[in-house]
C-alpha cells in the first residue's frame, strides 16, 4: 500500500460525524484528503470503523490528536500511546499532530486547549514531551499553535519565538493554524503577517484554516463553527507566498453546514493555492 503522505497535497477537510455520510456518498473531487481525530476511532467499532475504512479507501488520511497536549506536566498515558501507535501504523501516516498547550492538571481534564506561558521552562517541558512522543509513536510529530484569550506577556510575537525554539530543540514539524494566528492578532493587536514572517517555513508540514465567532464586544473566539472570514483568507495567501504549497485543512467542527457550503470554501481555498503557488512563486 502507498503511504498516505505520498498523496497528501492541496486542500482537505476534517472528517466529522456531522459531514461523513454526505462526504462518503458524494466523494466530491474538491476533497483531496481528510483529517481524523484518532480519539474518535480508537477501540470503537460499528459505524465509526465503517466510516474510517470507507474514508481510507477514498482519500489519503492525516491524523490530528486532541489528547497528548505537549505542554502537560503529567506523563502521557502509556496505554494511550500504545493504542495510538497501533492506529497510526495501520493508517500508514507520515506524521501525527497535537497541540502546543496543556489540557489537565493533577489528572483533572479541562476538555479544552489551555495556552502555555512563553517561558524557557515551558519550552523545556514541551520539548521533552515531544521527544518522548516521537519515540513512543515511531514517527515525526507536528505541534499546532493555539488560540489564547489572556495577554501572554508584553511581546506580541513571543509565541512564534517560543514555538521556533521548540522546533529547533526537537526537530519537530509545525502544523500552522492560520486562523489561530489571525484570532490572536485581532484580540491582542499585533500584525499577523509579522508573526508568519518569523516562522521557519521548512518546518511547516500542514496548515489549518477555519472560521471563528466574533462577539458583540469584538472578542474573537476560535470555535471552528463559522465560515472562513476574509481576514483569514488574506493571511493564508500571505503565508503561502512564504511557505509554498502545503496541505491545507478546512476545519469545521461545529454548526456544520450543508456539504455544498463546505465545498464552496474548499474551492476558494484551492483557488488561492493555485493562484499563489505557481511554478514561479512556489518552486
Q: Are 128 and 142 in contact (CB under 8 A)?
A: no
Quote the DSSP letter at residue 236. Answer: H
Enumerate the H helices of the chain as residue ranges.
Answer: 20-26, 46-58, 78-91, 120-137, 158-170, 178-188, 192-197, 230-243, 259-276
pLDDT, residue 156, reads 78
User: Is the whole model's pTM more than 0.85, yes or no?
Assistant: yes
pLDDT, residue 45, reads 76
How far apart are the C-alpha atoms of 141 and 124, rounded to whole Å? Answer: 16
How far apart are the C-alpha atoms of 227 and 91, rounded to whole Å? Answer: 30
For domain 68-276, the question of CATH label 1.10.3720.10 is answered with no
How far apart are the C-alpha atoms of 170 and 161, rounded to whole Å? Answer: 14
Q: At what angle do helices 259-276 and 230-243 cross, to 10 degrees?
A: 40
Per-residue pLDDT tens digits of the chain, which is 283 residues long: 343 445 799 999 999 988 999 999 999 999 999 999 999 999 887 888 899 999 999 999 999 998 887 877 878 888 999 999 999 999 999 999 999 876 655 554 555 566 778 999 999 999 999 999 999 999 999 999 999 988 777 787 999 999 999 999 999 999 999 999 999 999 999 999 999 999 999 999 999 999 999 999 999 999 988 999 999 999 999 999 999 999 999 999 989 999 999 999 999 999 999 999 974 455 4
The Cβ of residue 14 has, within 10 Å, a number of other Cβ atoms equal to 23
Kindly state the cell numbers that stand for 195: 508573526
pLDDT, residue 115, reads 73
pLDDT, residue 139, reads 96
Domain spans of the chain, in order of start: 68-276
How far apart are the C-alpha atoms of 242 and 201, rounded to whole Å? Answer: 7
pLDDT, residue 4, reads 46
Give residue for cell 508584553: 154
Element (H, E) at 221: strand 220-221
Kindly state the cell numbers that stand for 49: 470503523
Amino acid at each position: 500500500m502507498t503511504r498516505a503522505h505520498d498523496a497528501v497535497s492541496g486542500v482537505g477537510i476534517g472528517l466529522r460525524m456531522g459531514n461523513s455520510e454526505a462526504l462518503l456518498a458524494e466523494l466530491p473531487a474538491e476533497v483531496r484528503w481528510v483529517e481524523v481525530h484518532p480519539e474518535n476511532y480508537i477501540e470503537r467499532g460499528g459505524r465509526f470503523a465503517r466510516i474510517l475504512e470507507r474514508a481510507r479507501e477514498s482519500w489519503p488520511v492525516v491524523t490530528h490528536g486532541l489528547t497528548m497536549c505537549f505542554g502537560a506536566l503529567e506523563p502521557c498515558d502509556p496505554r494511550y500511546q500504545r493504542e495510538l501507535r497501533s492506529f497510526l501504523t495501520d493508517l500508514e501516516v507520515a506524521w501525527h499532530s497535537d497541540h502546543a498547550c496543556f489540557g489537565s492538571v493533577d489528572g483533572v481534564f479541562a476538555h479544552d486547549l489551555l495556552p502555555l506561558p512563553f517561558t524557557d521552562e515551558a519550552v523545556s517541558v514541551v520539548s521533552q514531551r515531544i521527544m518522548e512522543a516521537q519515540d513512543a509513536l515511531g514517527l515525526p510529530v507536528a505541534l499546532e499553535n493555539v488560540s489564547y484569550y489572556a495577554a501572554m506577556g508584553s511581546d506580541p510575537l513571543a509565541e512564534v519565538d517560543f514555538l521556533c525554539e521548540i522546533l529547533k530543540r526537537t526537530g519537530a514539524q509545525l502544523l500552522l493554524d492560520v486562523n489561530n494566528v489571525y484570532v490572536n492578532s485581532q484580540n491582542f493587536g499585533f500584525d499577523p503577517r509579522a508573526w508568519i514572517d518569523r516562522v521557519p517555513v521548512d518546518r511547516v508540514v500542514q496548515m489549518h484554516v477555519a472560521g471563528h465567532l466574533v462577539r458583540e464586544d469584538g472578542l474573537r473566539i476560535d470555535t471552528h463553527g463559522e465560515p472562513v472570514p476574509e481576514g483569514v483568507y488574506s493571511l493564508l495567501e500571505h503565508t503561502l507566498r512564504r511557505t509554498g504549497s502545503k496541505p491545507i485543512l478546512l476545519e469545521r467542527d461545529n454548526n456544520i453546514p450543508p456539504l455544498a457550503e463546505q465545498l464552496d470554501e474548499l474551492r476558494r481555498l484551492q483557488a488561492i493555492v493555485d493562484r499563489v503557488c505557481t511554478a514561479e512563486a512556489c518552486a
